[in-house]
Amino acid sequence: MAATGTGPGSDTGATTRTAAGTAVEAVVERALGRLGPDAKTRLLAGQDAWSLPALPEIGLRSLVMSDGPVGVRGVRWTADDPSIALPSPTALAAAWDPGLAHRAGALLAQEARRKGVHVLLAPTVNLHRSPLGGRHFEAYSEDPYLTGVIGAAYVNGVQSGGVGTTVKHFVANDAETDRFTVDNRVGERALRELYLAPFEAIVAGARPWGVMTAYNTVNGTTMTEHHHLVNEVLRGEWGFDGVNVSDWSAARDTVRALRGGLDVAMPGPRTVYGEALATAVRDGRLTETEVDEAVRRVLRLAARVGVLEGAEPAVTEPPAPIDGEALARELARRSFVLLRNEHDALPLEPGSVALVGAAARDARILGGGSATVFPARVVSPLDGLTAALPEGAVRYAVGADPATELAFADQGFSLRAVCRDARGTVIGTRSAPNGQIQWMGSDLPEGVTPDTLHTVELTGTFTPRESGPHTFGTKGTGAFTLTVAGTTYYDDVQRPAEDGDPFEAFFGSPQPRARVELTAGEPVEVRLAHVFALPDGAPFKAVAFALVHQEPVRDPEELIAEAVEAARAADTAVVVVATTERVESEGYDRKDLRLPGRQDDLVRAVAAANPNTVVVVNAGSPVEMPWREEVAAVLLGWFPGQEGGAALADVLTGAHEPGGRLPTTWGSLADAPVTEVVPTDGALAYREGVFIGYRAWEKENRTPAYPFGHGLGYTAWTYECADVTGTTVRVRVRNSGGRAGREVVQVYLAPVGTAATPERPARQLAGFAVVEAGPGESAEAVVEIPGRAFEVWDEADRRWSFVKGSYEIQAGRSIADRRITATITV
Ligand code: BGC
């Protein structure tokens, strides 16, 4: 069986050069010609948190955008408008399969159409520069090539459904600390070879209809004003013809942003475009012709997604329906990385299982921040294994709870939101399934307007599953009154932190406010009232706060002892460990890579009690696993999305092979060569140049816990030969194990002798292909090495330079497990 390797090949993206493209351009020009200066400037500013205004005079409907990237949240940021939740982007990259990424994109287009969304705010293609990056889970890889291939396939998938994308965050938004102000100092070579490279590959391979410019500054200029990188590089050199949307509240200056190539300032209505832009044109600080350029691009996007009358959309036939739950499950099991499997501990032998860990019951399925979506159902590991194994085979114990703080009022709560005006009259209600209110812009309950809204009350009941002292609290800023079982425990104002992130109401930390002794199974009334007040300078109208809760915190030693006892009595112990939303989210970075709480102690104790201990890690980015040599197997399950527990059962029972390979090196923080995320005097120097990820680990001669590309399956592979013709590499592999399997054949390119100067990484990923074969069968992987793999960016001449000479082609199972080599001279 042959499989052709990767390359960002384009399959969507109507361009302005085709006949259809020419017709669309004509409609766009006509529409533009009929707009006055005020309407033009209005079109470039959000009318609310998620959309642009309709302009009925030219047949333009409102264009709606939504996050992204694991699902389509829609214009509501609450659990009462559910979405399919796919595995984290790190997981998507771990499948090393552009075909799968394309299907994920196509599903998201289907979700977007269902929710009336025209542009998906995704994919995130920043790089894993430091493992401490808070949104690491939301990006693909430390490798620009893998990121570009997966990103291009994803964009092609979304756009094949007629929905736009904004590839984000352009560029060098690789960490969260001081994200609005940090000046990332990046050398030109590193910019070109690493950080810009995925964007360049996606523009070439998928012709995205949008990009999103980042909050941060690069080399002294904030990205929403970066004339050089946006106008000269992205548009000029690469030919990007889509829309440039600001990250939310990233645009700061009307004239500089427009001249810097920013088309749309989001969100609205308070932005530096709209009215401010109209004034700048009237005052002569900008010309209408300059505004026209941006309007033209927005109209082109509107035409592509089908909201501009008279223009044929890029996709006219609705694509075939996709089963979202089935794809979420398939993607999850294809992403799971089997890091260790001593004595074939997995798949599980029939027998009893002690399932341990808080995350086995309350599944950790996605990362936090703007990437959050609310699925209609979640299959936890406990649900998945209980359904897959014979009745009575699974015994559950919490063992250790990593949640060091209060979580959304979800489990056991039945809540609704009641809106009142200043006189206390009820003016509207809405369900509030998890105690989290995030109403943005015009998305208020029916009958409610920002002018009439005074108080929002979350009211309902809570039925505890455990007896003991329960903690209740608030998240967000403003005035709160918290009442539990008739007693008011808190009645005060939470002020925003000085110099805090402007989105603190969304991402800030929860505050404990009440400790109440409750009895399992006995419901109590709960009420949290919040006085609605827009913070000063808020860019858009939003009501954002939450009721949060924590179950009785039991003695950790006792919990571990219970788990040990369960493990001792079972044939196998499966421990599910995880990070929490406080660890991996938006708006802040991580401080360390440790698993929160007592989870490390738990694993060690369980492993000591049962040699057949399997650890499942639910984390979107690297965590340290100091016990990894003490357990039989380690399965990295990422944030696996809503069907994670079902996929876990598929893989543990052996119904399917875990298909993932690490898209990023996993090692300890002490060993990691590049970690810094905290700016000094406002600047973060990317001192390491082109050496991040495996490039840096190899340069420093350090051995990580698990190398880039690593991942085991349930069969074995022999690498038989590698042939090179021109720049095409053919690798023959044989399934030498006992069951059918899938192999990710990775091809690294190592410059030899003079080709290794100027200083270059010892080797880099230059291609890969996924092959399948039955036991004893062979398969051929065909990989085309892209020309760029031979090039370096010449900083003196400011151009790509092809480095002639000899290179070793190294094919294998990871960067550290290279099985076969060949030489190529160019
Ligand atoms: C994030 C973007 C996101 C936007 C809208 C920003 O805070 O950085 O990734 O698309 O919010 O939610």
pLDDT value for 641: 98
Tell the residue nearest (CA) to atom 4 of ligand 1: 248
User: What percent of the chain shows pLDDT beyond 90?
Assistant: 86
Known catalytic residues are 247
715-825: CATH topology: Immunoglobulin-like (2.60.40)
Tell me if 324-401+555-662 shares its fold with 408-495+525-550. no
Q: Are 270 and 539 in contact (CB under 8 A)?
A: yes
CA of 121 to the centre of ligand 1 (A): 8
Bridge-based pairing of strands 394-397 and 353-356 is parallel
CA distance readout (Å), 757 to 145, 229, 797? 21, 27, 16
pLDDT value for 433: 82
pLDDT value for 730: 98
User: Omega into 267 within 30° of 0, i.e. cis?
Assistant: yes
pLDDT grade for 19, boundaries at 50, 70 and 90? confident
> How far does the chain reach from its first CA to its final CA, in angstroms?
29
Tell the residue nearest (CA) to atom 3 of ligand 1: 370
Task: Assign domain 324-401+555-662 one CATH number from 3.20.20.140, 3.40.50.1700, 3.40.50.720, 3.40.50.2300.
Answer: 3.40.50.1700
64-281: CATH topology: TIM Barrel (3.20.20)
Q: Give yes or no for residue 15 having a pLDDT over 60.
A: no
∠ CA 618-103-169, nearest 5°, is: 65
CA of 389 to the centre of ligand 1 (A): 41
Tell the residue nearest (CA) to atom 8 of ligand 1: 247
Q: At what angle do helices 275-282 and 288-305 cross, to 10 degrees?
A: 150
pLDDT grade for 499, boundaries at 50, 70 and 90? low
Mean pLDDT of the 774-793 span:
98
Residue with tokens 């690798």: 731
Q: Give yes or no for residue 485 having a pLDDT over 90.
A: yes
Provide the residue ranges of all domains of the chain, joining segments of one domain with +: 64-281, 324-401+555-662, 408-495+525-550, 715-825
Q: Give yes or no for residue 385 having a pLDDT over 90.
A: yes
Which is more confident, 452 or 751? 751
pLDDT value for 284: 97
pLDDT grade for 20, boundaries at 50, 70 and 90? confident
Mean pLDDT of the 227-231 span:
98
pLDDT value for 507: 61
Pocket test for ligand 1, best of 121, 501, 589 (most atoms within 8 A of CB): 121
pLDDT value for 581: 81
Tell the residue nearest (CA) to atom 9 of ligand 1: 370
Q: Give yes or no for residue 48 having a pLDDT over 50.
A: yes
| Ligand 1 binding site (Cβ under 6 Å of any ligand atom) | 67-68, 121, 168, 247-248, 370, 503
**Residue 124 alpha carbon, nearest atom of ligand 1:** 9
pLDDT digits (tens, 9 = 90+) for 79-97: 778 999 999 999 999 999 9
pLDDT digits (tens, 9 = 90+) for 654-711: 999 999 999 999 999 999 999 999 999 999 999 999 999 999 999 999 999 999 999 9
CA of 458 to the centre of ligand 1 (A): 26
Pocket test for ligand 1, best of 48, 51, 77, 248 (most atoms within 8 A of CB): 248
Mean pLDDT of the 11-15 span:
44
CA of 437 to the centre of ligand 1 (A): 18
The model's pTM: 0.93
Q: Are 490 and 482 in contact (CB under 8 A)?
A: yes
pLDDT value for 6: 52
pLDDT value for 393: 98
pLDDT digits (tens, 9 = 90+) for 152-210: 999 999 999 999 999 999 999 999 999 999 999 999 999 999 999 999 999 999 999 99
pLDDT value for 478: 87
pLDDT grade for 606, boundaries at 50, 70 and 90? very high
Q: Are 776 and 624 in contact (CB under 8 A)?
A: no
Tell the residue nearest (CA) to atom 6 of ligand 1: 248
Pocket test for ligand 1, best of 126, 244, 370, 585 (most atoms within 8 A of CB): 370
DSSP 8-state assignment for residue 122:
-
pLDDT value for 737: 96
CA of 184 to the centre of ligand 1 (A): 19
Mean pLDDT of the 505-534 span:
88
CA dist., res. 232 & res. 236, Å (int): 5
pLDDT grade for 440, boundaries at 50, 70 and 90? confident
Mean pLDDT of the 636-646 span:
98
CA dist., res. 466 & res. 464, Å (int): 5
SS3 state of residue 133? coil
Spatial neighbors of 554 by CB under 8 A, at least 6 apart, are: 398, 468
CA distance readout (Å), 505 to 29, 361, 595, 669, 723? 42, 28, 26, 30, 57
* Sheet of strand 717-725, all strands in order from the earlier edge strand to the far edge: 2-4, 778-784, 728-735, 717-725
Tell the residue nearest (CA) to atom 11 of ligand 1: 248
pLDDT value for 434: 87
CA dist., res. 678 & res. 741, Å (int): 43
408-495+525-550: CATH topology: Toxin - Anthrax Protective Antigen; domain 1 (3.90.182)
pLDDT digits (tens, 9 = 90+) for 411-422: 899 999 999 999
Where would I find the beta strands (DSSP E) of 532-672? Answer: 542-550, 572-578, 613-618, 633-636
Q: Give yes or no for residue 8 having a pLDDT over 60.
A: no
Taken as a whole, the chain contains a residue count of 826
pLDDT digits (tens, 9 = 90+) for 273-319: 999 999 999 999 999 999 999 999 999 999 999 999 999 999 999 89
Compute the mean pLDDT over every residue in the chain, rounded to the nearest whole number.
94
pLDDT digits (tens, 9 = 90+) for 26-38: 999 999 999 999 9
CA of 170 to the centre of ligand 1 (A): 12
